[in-house]
Chains A and B, each alone.
Chain A
Amino acid sequence: MSLTRQDVEKIAHLARLSITEQEMPVYVTSLSSIVNFVDELSRVQTDNVEPMAHPLDGQHQRLRADVVSESDHHEKYQANAPAVQAGLYVVPRVIE
């Protein structure tokens, strides 16, 4: 099953990845070969098999008491931000 260039452009858009003109044919080829490779799974009999999202059975998402356990470290955490103003992350205008 081969992917087309349009398929890859659509996937790249969904994944928010910019792919250059030179890179595009390489990705079309390699993604097609990967999809071909995993297509083997379609031939496996899986009727009545439960999908497995987690490797250990019987694990549930733990809950904890609704009490404050952390303190404000936003300056430390924002030290890595590309652009910050008044404790807010600065990005290009979103709403016209």
Chain B
Amino acid sequence: MLHTLSIGELGKSLKSGQISSVELTRHFLSRIERLNPALNALTTLTAEQALAQAAAADARIAAGVQGPLLGIPLIHKDIFCTDGVRTSCGSRMLDNFIAPYDATVVARLKAAGAVMLGKANMDEFAMGSSNETSFYGPVRNPWDTAKVPGGSSGGSAAATAARLAPFATGTDTGGSIRQPAALTGVTGLKPTYGRVSRYGMIAFASSLDQAGVFAHSAADAALVLQVMAGFDPKDSTSVDTPVPDYPAALDGALDGLKIGLLREFFEGLEARNSALIHDALKIYRSLGATTVEVSLPHLPLSVPTYYVVAPAECSSNLSRFDGVRFGHRCENPADLMDLYKRSRGEGFGAEVKRRIMTGTYVLSAGYFDAYYLKAQKVRRLITDDFRAAFAQVDLLIGPTTPTPAFAIGAKIDDPVTMYLNDIYTIGANLAGLPGVSLPCGFVEGLPMGLQLIGPHFSEAKLLNAAHRFQESTDWHRRAPRGYD
């Protein structure tokens, strides 16, 4: 079945002429038409443009052009600006916004010949861990449609898990790629901060945001990261460091690889969840890795630190939405203040307003030192803990989430309970580290993920360790019933 093939296998079929990109695109478009209504994973479908892009890819293939993503369909999280196509960020504020340019991530994948099927639904302005805050309604988990897919990249995760596209882009600020990947049984990679350009990626928290990928395997993710990664002069935080050959590094032996078990991650973890990680460690040991326990004593402070830093940065970033130049404007504003307040009050949902106000508070006169400056200091303590750990080990391992997917509506009324879902993922964002979540088993019929975190710019090693695990297991090949 076309939707169960890897990107590598699809590429071979396209190159040999066995299938065309137009046929492949039609296959996924018809799956979207049939299967997406139950999931609500997409905000915008771009069927006509997709078929045009597919036809162009077929012409390039016929002319002898080669490329691993040439003619391969994808879905972009609706946080990436896509020229001429609505870019809503899951918000009423941008419901009418047609992006006038392509984000660098979009432009690079387009240049590589990937075919955009549409835009993925997401938590509003990337704020959420369940995809329940979207203006366009919640996304449902294909493994159990009464459950959340995770967030904020819930649409990208659900679409990948449901095989509506071979891969999807996402963003990860506090876990928004890794957590939904774990809850939907797919592979999700967050690169090092600065590895992938943020140009054209609507900003939530500028020192934390990073673009990444959802795919069915580390091997597929490596092909996509190869195209996405690299210095971009248009992003002032883009790092000018060479991009290694990720696919070439996948098959490396793991002999001598030192994996650290994060003690703080296992404290309080339910036995059946930690059992899955311990099973994974047995596999890693059989592949030649050694494991040792490490402690990051400040790691439990990650969540409160993040919920000062991220809201502060978001309050600043979202000040651009003022009803003046783009986005929602209220009707009949009485004066400028009324224009600002009502446009923003109407345009933003409750979680976004909560975070803007939290950020405004911690940055305000009299509170800046106690909250924001303090959080920046704790951020350094957490980052130093990671640095000390990486002096002893090559990679860190732990669960991605404390539990499998929870029911839609179960946590949305209590922000702090929702925030604690990110307990295992947030540390990597604060320290700017790369992390990958891979499927590692099931609890009560729902997928669980294991997370690998590496030092800065260690994506090749992470993908190598993930790939070798996936050669010894088949969790990543499982598909939800009805989507297989």
Binding site for B on A (CB under 8 A): 3, 7-8, 11-12, 14-20, 23, 26-27, 30-31, 33-35, 37-42, 44, 46, 49-56, 59, 61-62, 64, 73, 76-83, 89, 91-94
* Contact indicator B236/A93 (Cβ below 8 Å): no
Point out the residues of chain A lying under 8 angstroms from B285, CB to CB: none
Expressed in whole angstroms, the Cα–Cα distance for A61 and B342 within the complex equals: 35
Quick check: is B37 within 8 A (CB to CB) of the other chain?
no
Contacts of B360 in A (CB 8 A): 11, 14-15
Interface string of B329-351 (1 = CB under 8 A from A): 10001111111111011101010
Which of B401-438 touch A at CB < 8 Å?
414-416, 419, 429-433
A46 and B372 CA atoms in complex are apart in Å by 13
Q: Does B361 have its Cβ within 8 Å of any Cβ on chain A?
A: yes
Interface size class of B (residues with CB under 8 A): 35 or more
Q: CB distance B348 to A80 under 8 Å?
A: no
Determine the chain B residues whose CB is within 8 A of the CB of A12 once the complex forms: 357
24 A-B pairs (CB sep. < 8 Å): A16-B319, A16-B341, A16-B344, A19-B353, A31-B354, A33-B414, A33-B416, A38-B304, A41-B304, A41-B371, A42-B374, A50-B377, A52-B377, A52-B383, A55-B207, A56-B194, A59-B194, A59-B237, A59-B239, A82-B326, A82-B329, A83-B329, A91-B339, A92-B335
Structural contact, B354 and A34, CB atoms closer than 8 A: yes
A62 shortest CB reach to chain B, Å: 6
A79: chain B residues within 8 A (beta carbon): 98, 100
Given A14-B364, A38-B375, 19 additional A-B pairs, CB 8 A: A12-B357, A15-B353, A16-B322, A16-B340, A17-B341, A17-B353, A39-B304, A41-B374, A41-B375, A44-B298, A44-B377, A49-B377, A51-B380, A52-B376, A56-B432, A62-B233, A80-B327, A81-B325, A92-B338
Does the CB pair B358–A31 fall under 8 Å? yes
